[in-house]
Structure 1
Amino acid sequence: MLKRIHHVAIICSDYPRSKHFYTEILGLQVIAEHYRQARQSYKLDLALTDGSQIELFSFPNAPARPSYPEAQGLRHLAFEVEDIAQVKARLEQQGIHVEPIRIDPYTQRYFTFFSDPDGLPLELYQTD
């Protein structure tokens, strides 16, 4: 039986830039970082406060995402936040473009989108 999402894996184009984004801007905690010589690839394990993780990979010559945002496959990654306006403001202070906050017509919850350094769509979702 499935219990919860353990991790999401992301392949980035510029490892130092993405590492900075996910650790310094989004504030995720580093669990482990490894350089895998045989693959010429970094693997960075990052923790969210609920125990879920993001695995950040670098691979030489990885193909770009086909289109944004409606390509088949994973559409976006959503992060739950307590105060969406506060998180939006903090991201914008660091030069991150964040879309206007909207209300989901079905759940009546606040949400907005922004992108990681490779254009991966990320969502902020306020549950309370």
Structure 2
Amino acid sequence: MLGIRQIHHIAIIASHYETSKAFYCDVLGFTLMDEVYREARDSWKGDLALNGNYVIELFSFPQPPARPTQPESCGLRHLAFSVVDIDAAKRELEEKGVNCEAIRVDPLTDKRYTFFADPDGLPLELYQA
């Protein structure tokens, strides 16, 4: 076996680095651990943590292509974040100007969830654990 223990990080390419950095840090509560401008690639790279754990590499590149469809594109479908109180989390997002779908119940797990999007339309999910 490979010995995989957990997911190390998720890489996201943003069309506007500062906008996405503000969204992930100021709206969702991630912490910027480190960032570097890579001049040869005209690209920013930010390392974001959640509760002290490195989770997301946030990149920028000049003119990245848009996501082809929502949400059923090949590749990453969405990122899901576990929350204790989905009603409070949804309300906080909406107070910060983030549009959320209505809360639904997963028929397989009986858990509550909702979807919203990052500034580039990447589908994100809140899932009540």
TM-score with structure 2 length normalisation?
Answer: 0.95
Following TM superposition, the consecutive aligned residue runs of length 4 or more in structure 1 with deviations greater than 4 angstroms are none
1:60 counterpart (59, 62, 71) = 62
Q: Secondary structure in 1 aligned to 2:23?
A: helix
**1:18 counterpart residue number:** 20
Please tell me the residue identity of whatever aligns with 1:30. L
**2:75 counterpart residue number:** 73
Number of residue pairs matched? 127
Please tell me the residue identity of whatever aligns with 2:23. F
How far off its partner does 1:101 sit?
0.7
TM-score with structure 1 length normalisation?
Answer: 0.96
Please tell me the residue identity of whatever aligns with 2:61. F
> Following the alignment from structure 1 to structure 2, what is the Cα–Cα distance between the partners of residues 10 and 75?
12
How far off its partner does 1:6 sit?
1.1
Structure 1 segments unaligned to the other structure (5+ residues):
none
Does structure 1 residue 8 correspond to structure 2 residue 27?
no
Does structure 1 residue 104 correspond to structure 2 residue 106?
yes
| Distance 1:55-1:4 versus aligned 2 partners, 3 A rule | same
Q: Give CA-to-partner distance per residue, 1:67-104, whole Å, 9 cap, x none.
A: 11111111000011111111100000011000111110
Q: Secondary structure in 1 aligned to 2:53?
A: coil
**1:30 counterpart residue number:** 32
CA RMSD of aligned residues (A): 1.0
> Following the alignment from structure 1 to structure 2, what is the Cα–Cα distance between the partners of residues 106 and 49?
29
Amino-acid identity (%): 57
> Following the alignment from structure 2 to structure 1, what is the Cα–Cα distance between the partners of residues 52 and 36?
23
Query: Do 1:41 and 1:57's aligned partners in 2 also have CA atoms closer than 8 Å?
Result: yes
**1:120 counterpart residue number:** 122
Q: Give CA-to-partner distance per residue, 1:1-60, whole Å, 9 cap, x none.
A: 111111100000011111110010111011101101111000000001262411100001
Query: Do 2:14 and 2:60's aligned partners in 1 also have CA atoms closer than 8 Å?
Result: yes
